[in-house]
Amino acid sequence: MNRHLHVNPYIAGSPVTGTEMFFGRDDVFTFIRRNLIGRHRDTPVVLYGQRRTGKTSVLYQLHRHLDPSYRCIFIDLHGLSLDSMGSLLHGIASSISRDLRREHHLTVPVPDRSLFLAEPRSAFQTRFLDAALSALGDDHLVLMLDEVVRLYEEVEHGRLEREIFDFLRHLMQHYERLNFIFSLGSGLEEMAREYAFLFSVSLYHRISFLEPAAARSLITEPAREHYQVAPQAVMKILEITSGHPYYTQLVCHCLFDSWSRSPKSVMDVPDVEAILAEAIELGSPNLTYVWEDSTPEEQALMAGIAATGGHDAGAVTIDQVRETWHKAGLTLPEREITRAARSLISRDVLAGDQAYSFNVDPAMEPVRSTLARRNDPRPGDRDKTANQTPCSRHRSHRGGPSQLLCCHCSHPHIPLLLQSRERPAGRPYTDFYPDLAPDPGRRRHPPTAVAAGRYQ
């Protein structure tokens, strides 16, 4: 058979819409069935988790795991116009009408767009939604809104009316056969009160890494007709990815490409190691996002773990990280770094209790190698740079996770000067470096309702 005809089955980046490449998540579907469907009243459900953990894929699969009387409609908010409440509701109505016709052979006309722009609430509720629920008979309409955080972002930018939150909550409370499932890429605790209020009646479930059995199936089953993955190679992939669905798919995608160029019956550990550099390069945009979405304290902790760990995959304590930075002439505030560790654990970036390591090894390897190659100053170099004045580029150069020290003058990067000896005692670092003040729009953890235990 011509090896060029082999189609790579692994999906690196796009949501999994079919069943062949979807593995695990039984706990998620059980949670939704148990909590969405109530004896007296159904409950909205919020699925939350970090980027690329499979939230959208779960929504695409959900209709296969609910009773047929629950008609699931996927709403991609990235594909809708959010410049006004009328435009948004018209887009949602159009998505519902299209899916009901295509998947359920039901015809529900959508009122003219001008009616939505003039009276958005009335056009959606009385002219469209009532007709849609009537066409469904006794069945339920399940609206699955993906990346609903976009609503908050558009409201904050002044493009979408804030009353959209009140209207959605009104629909939740007054339509017994209308169900909502929301997916969120991150937490809500720093968002506006109106936004958190929208989800205060919901139950939350976190979507994270795959269970080991599901991850092993993802690694081995799609390629079974072409080659076997040796048990030790499976373990190597799991060590690298921790079962993160995106990175597992990415590594396996690169492994399949390697096999297609040089077919063999068994792919082993050396084959996995040979494609790691390619997998890291392909996944670098997501790794960069993790870095850029982190606070200065979190960046300091990640860089310190990478520098302290060297080429050893062992876990690193806070004291070891602080000692590493102390050798570079900086003192990290223990309380802030401990808080950063808790945040990174909640975001699935780090794992551990008293000692920490990266959940996904590719996030650490390029950092380690670059530090070892360029930015880990030898004692002699450190002595020569200790009394130099930072270069003119230094204060505007934020650097990345692989750069503890400025590549121009070898001084520590300003985002990591959290408590340097040159800073006046008692002054917060955001006063000393106001350009590094945390972004008020940054999202970190689940909302107060989640912290209070309204999730599993």
Confidence of residue 289 (pLDDT cuts 50, 70, 90): confident
Lowest mean pLDDT among 5-14, 42-51, 208-217, 282-291: 282-291
335 shares its domain with 372:
yes
235 shares its domain with 128:
no
Residue 106: other Cβ atoms inside 10 A: 17
Q: Taking residues 285-313, what's their average pLDDT?
A: 77
Confidence of residue 213 (pLDDT cuts 50, 70, 90): very high
With 50 as the cut, is the pLDDT of residue 357 above it?
yes
Q: Taking residues 279-292, what's their average pLDDT?
A: 80
Question: Pick the residue with more confidence: 329 or 225?
Answer: 225
Residue 415 is predicted with a pLDDT of 39
Residue 283 phi/psi, 5° resolution? -90, 5
With 70 as the cut, is the pLDDT of residue 333 above it?
yes
Domain-located, residue 141: yes
Question: Pick the residue with more confidence: 341 or 439?
Answer: 341
Q: Taking residues 370-376, what's their average pLDDT?
A: 40
Q: How many domains does the chain have?
A: 3
Any idea how long the chain is? Answer: 456
From residue 22, how far is each of 47, 222, 271, 323, 349 by CA, in Å?
17, 10, 24, 44, 23
188 shares its domain with 333:
no
192 shares its domain with 226:
no
Output the six-digit token pair for 239: 């060590």
The average confidence (pLDDT) of the chain is: 78
Output the six-digit token pair for 61: 């699969």
Which residues, in sequence order, are CB contacts of 293 under 8 Å at separation 6+? 442
Identity of the highest mean pLDDT range in 123-132, 282-291, 373-382, 409-418: 123-132
Confidence of residue 366 (pLDDT cuts 50, 70, 90): very low
Residue 404 is predicted with a pLDDT of 43
Q: Taking residues 174-192, what's their average pLDDT?
A: 76
Q: Percentage of the chain with pLDDT > 90? A: 44
260 shares its domain with 317:
no
Residue 348 is predicted with a pLDDT of 83
Provide the β-strand partners of residue 73. 143
Of 256, 282, 308, which closes a domain?
A: 282
Domain-located, residue 455: no
Q: Taking residues 240-249, what's their average pLDDT?
A: 92
According to DSSP, the β-strands at 350-352 and 355-358 are: antiparallel
Q: Taking residues 243-249, what's their average pLDDT?
A: 93
Confidence of residue 85 (pLDDT cuts 50, 70, 90): very high
Domain-located, residue 165: yes
Confidence of residue 436 (pLDDT cuts 50, 70, 90): very low
Confidence of residue 361 (pLDDT cuts 50, 70, 90): low
205 shares its domain with 251:
no
Q: Taking residues 260-286, what's their average pLDDT?
A: 91
Residue 97 is predicted with a pLDDT of 97
Of 231, 247, 282, which closes a domain?
A: 282
Domain-located, residue 456: no
CATH of the domain at 234: 1.10.8.60
Output the six-digit token pair for 11: 């999906």
Residue 129 phi/psi, 5° resolution? -60, -45
322 shares its domain with 370:
yes
Domain-located, residue 375: yes
CATH of the domain at 160: 3.40.50.300
SS3 sequence of the chain: CCHHHCCCCCCCCCCCCCCCCCCCCHHHHHHHHHHHCCCCCCCCEEEECCCCCCHHHHHHHHHHCCCCCEEEEEEEHHHCCCCCHHHHHHHHHHHHHHHHHHHHCCCCCCCCHHHHHHCHHHHHHHHHHHHHHHHCCCCEEEEEEECCHHHHHHHHCCCCCCCHHHHHHHHHHHCCCEEEEEEECCCCCCCCHHHHHHCCCCEEEECCCCCHHHHHHHHHCCCCCCCEECHHHHHHHHHHHCCCHHHHHHHHHHHHHHHHHCCCCEECHHHHHHHHHHHHHHCHHHHHHHHHCCCHHHHHHHHHHHHHHCCCCCCEEHHHHHHHHHHCCECCCHHHHHHHHHHHHHCCCEEECCEEEECCHHHCHHHHHHHHHHHCCCHHHHHHHCCCCCCCCHHHCCCCCCCCECCCCCCECHHHCCCECCCCCCCCHHHHCHHHCCCCCCCCCCCHHHHCCCEC
pLDDT in tens, 299-312: 888 888 888 874 44
Question: Pick the residue with more confidence: 64 or 36?
Answer: 64
Question: Pick the residue with more confidence: 215 or 187?
Answer: 215
Output the six-digit token pair for 344: 């990174």
**Domain range spanning residue 245?**
211-282
Confidence of residue 192 (pLDDT cuts 50, 70, 90): low
Confidence of residue 399 (pLDDT cuts 50, 70, 90): very low
Domain-located, residue 447: no
127 shares its domain with 272:
no
352 shares its domain with 399:
yes
45 shares its domain with 79:
yes
Radius of gyration of the chain (CA): 25
Domain-located, residue 13: no
Of 209, 237, 272, which closes a domain?
A: 209
Question: Pick the residue with more confidence: 359 or 244?
Answer: 244
56 shares its domain with 184:
yes
Within its chain, how far is the Cα of 53 from the centroid?
6
With 50 as the cut, is the pLDDT of residue 455 above it?
no
With 70 as the cut, is the pLDDT of residue 424 above it?
no
pTM score: 0.75
Confidence of residue 313 (pLDDT cuts 50, 70, 90): low
428 shares its domain with 317:
yes
Confidence of residue 456 (pLDDT cuts 50, 70, 90): very low
Domain-located, residue 387: yes
Residue 456: other Cβ atoms inside 10 A: 11
